[in-house]
Amino acid sequence: GAVVSQHPSWVICKSGTSVKIECRSLDFQATTMFWYRQFPKQSLMLMATSNEGSKATYEQGVEKDKFLINHASLTLSTLTVTSAHPEDSSFYICSASYGGGSPLHFGNGTRLTVT
Amino acid sequence: AQKITQTQPGMFVQEKEAVTLDCTYDTSDPSYGLFWYKQPSSGEMIFLIYQGSYDQQNATEGRYSLNFQKARKSANLFISASQLGDSAMYFCAMREALNSGYSTLTFGKGTMLLVSP
- Three-state SS across A3-41? CEEEECCEEEECCCCCEEEEEEECCCCCCEEEEEEECCC
Residue B2 has pLDDT above 80, yes or no: no
Pairing of strands A90-96, A105-106: antiparallel
10 Å Cβ neighbour count for A39?
A: 11
Tell me the C-alpha distance between B44 and A109, whole Å: 6
> pLDDT for B38-49, tens place per residue?
999 999 999 999
- What per-residue confidence (pLDDT) applies to B101? 56
> pLDDT for B84-104, tens place per residue?
999 999 999 998 875 565 567
- What per-residue confidence (pLDDT) applies to A2? 67
- What per-residue confidence (pLDDT) applies to A97? 75
Low-confidence ranges of chain A (pLDDT < 50): none
- What per-residue confidence (pLDDT) applies to A111? 96
> pLDDT for B9-34, tens place per residue?
999 999 999 999 999 999 998 889 99
Burial readout B80-107 (b: 16 or more C-beta within 10 A, e: otherwise) = eebeeebbbbbbbbbbbebeeebbbbbb
Would you call A6 an interface residue with chain B, using a CB distance cutoff of 8 Å?
Answer: no
- What per-residue confidence (pLDDT) applies to B80? 95
> pLDDT for B67-78, tens place per residue?
999 999 999 999
B102 contacts A103? CB cut-off 8 A:
no
Which one of A104, A108, A110, A111 makes the best mutation probe of the B interface by having the most chain B beta carbons within 10 Å? A104
CB nearest to A100's CB, from B43, B45, B98 = B98
